[in-house]
Amino acid sequence: MSALMTIPPALDPARHALFIDFDGTLVELVDDPQAVAIDRAALLRLAALQSELSGAFAVLSGRRIADLDRFLEPLRFAAAGVHGLERRGGPDDPIERLAGPERLDPLRRDLGRQLAGRADLRLEDKGLALVLHYRGHPELKAEAERLMAEAVHGDEGFAVMNGDHIVEVHLAGMDKGRALAAFLVADPFRGRVPVYLGDDTTDEFGFRAVKERGGIAIKVGTGLSEADYRLAGVDSVHRWLGAPGEPSAAGTGSE
Task: Identify the pLDDT of residue 182.
Answer: 95
Query: How would DSSP label each residue in 209-236?
Result: HHHHTT-EEEEESSS-BS-SEEE-SHHH
Q: Domain 101-171: give its CATH superfamily.
A: Trehalose-6-phosphate phosphatase related protein; domain 2 (3.30.70.1020)
pLDDT (mean) for 16-41: 92
Report the range of poorest mean pLDDT among 64-73, 161-170, 201-210. 161-170
Q: How confident is the model at residue 251 (pLDDT cuts 50, 70, 90)?
A: very low
- Note if 203 is an active site residue: no
Consecutive H or E run containing 196 = strand 193-198
pLDDT (mean) for 229-249: 80
CATH architecture group of domain 16-98+174-241: 3-Layer(aba) Sandwich (3.40)
- Residue-range domain boundaries for the chain: 16-98+174-241, 101-171
Of 12, 21, 199, 203, the active-site residue reads 21
In the chain, how many H helices and how many E strands? 7, 12
Rounded distance between C-alpha atoms, residue 24 and residue 17, angstroms: 20
Task: Identify the pLDDT of residue 4.
Answer: 64
In contact, 62 and 83? CB cutoff 8 Å: yes
Task: Identify the pLDDT of residue 98.
Answer: 83
pLDDT (mean) for 47-52: 97
Considering the entire predicted model, what is its pTM?
A: 0.80
Q: How confident is the model at residue 90 (pLDDT cuts 50, 70, 90)?
A: very high
pLDDT (mean) for 10-27: 96
Contacting residues for 142 by C-beta, under 8 A, at least 6 apart? none
